[in-house]
Chains A and B, each alone.
Chain A
Amino acid sequence: AQSVSQHNHHVILSEAASLELGCNYSYGGTVNLFWYVQYPGQHLQLLLKYFSGDPLVKGIKGFEAEFIKSKFSFNLRKPSVQWSDTAEYFCAASNNAGNMLTFGGGTRLMVKP
């Protein structure tokens, strides 16, 4: 069965600290990978996505993620977090057989000023 795992449920960092949120997937065949973010009181919105090509994907607000096929991972990174990055982050995956997204359980990030 297809699944997405986010191992960190809650992360607390101080401003300027580096961030890495883990995401592992279990999918057969071609996989498309996404990171979504939900800021407090706002819509779920796309942060970045990987379909093919360069495995290092750059998204909005200084975030990036690296697709490592051998590790079935798509970890999200940011070199220096800001208080405004406080949000819940969701990793998601799908394959080219359809548009159904499978989401991970989410990671709540709190950045202390």
Chain B
Amino acid sequence: SQTIHQWPATLVQPVGSPLSLECTVEGTSNPNLYWYRQAAGRGLQLLFYSVGIGQISSEVPQNLSASRPQDRQFILSSKKLLLSDSGFYLCAWSVASGRSDTQYFGPGTRLTVL
């Protein structure tokens, strides 16, 4: 069966520090991968999605970036965190079927920027 992992589970970082959040998927190949952010009191906002290695699309301009160095690995990064980057970051995957399909979410990373 497929599983999705995210780490770390929680993170407290000072403003201006770098960020690296990792997401890996097991039990499937060539998945579509997604990064979402859930800010306090708000819904989920799609940040990035990827349909293959090295292929990243950004939905929202910001100081975050994403990379997909391997088929089942998706990394969210920042060179300098802002206070507004605080939130709950969710990684998700779906089958690359060419049509809309169910997305499966990871446990999330709660980021607090102080």
In the assembled complex, 15 residue pairs joining A and B whose CB atoms fall closer than 8 Å, in A order, are A32-B100, A34-B102, A43-B105, A45-B105, A49-B102, A95-B100, A99-B34, A99-B49, A99-B99, A101-B34, A101-B44, A102-B46, A103-B36, A103-B43, A106-B43
Interface positions of A from 80 to 100, Cβ below 8 Å from B: 90, 92, 94-96, 98-100
| Smallest Cβ-Cβ distance to A106: which chain B residue | B43
Interface positions of B from 42 to 64, Cβ below 8 Å from A: 42-46, 49, 59
B87 proximal to A (CB < 8 A): no
B78 proximal to A (CB < 8 A): no
CB-defined interface of A40-75 with B at 8 Å, one 1/0 digit per residue? Answer: 000111100101000000000000000000000000
A43 to B92, CA, bound (A): 11
Q: How many residues of B contact A (CB 8 A)?
A: 23
Q: How many residues of A contact B (CB 8 A)?
A: 25
Interface residues of B (CB under 8 A from A): 32, 34, 36, 42-46, 49, 59, 90, 92, 94, 99-108
- B44 with A98: CB separation less than 8 A: no
Give chain B residues whose Cβ lies under 8 Å from the Cβ of A36.
Answer: 105
- A99 with B101: CB separation less than 8 A: yes
Nearest chain B CB to A40 CB, angstrom units: 13
Give chain A residues whose Cβ lies under 8 Å from the Cβ of B43.
Answer: 4, 6, 90, 103-106
- B100 with A94: CB separation less than 8 A: yes
Known interface pairs A95-B100, A105-B43. Does A44 touch B49 (Cβ–Cβ under 8 Å)? Answer: no
Further pairs besides A51-B100, A92-B44: 11, Cβ < 8 Å: A36-B105, A44-B90, A44-B105, A46-B103, A99-B34, A99-B101, A99-B103, A100-B34, A100-B49, A101-B34, A101-B103
A70 to B90, CA, bound (A): 33
- A101 with B46: CB separation less than 8 A: yes
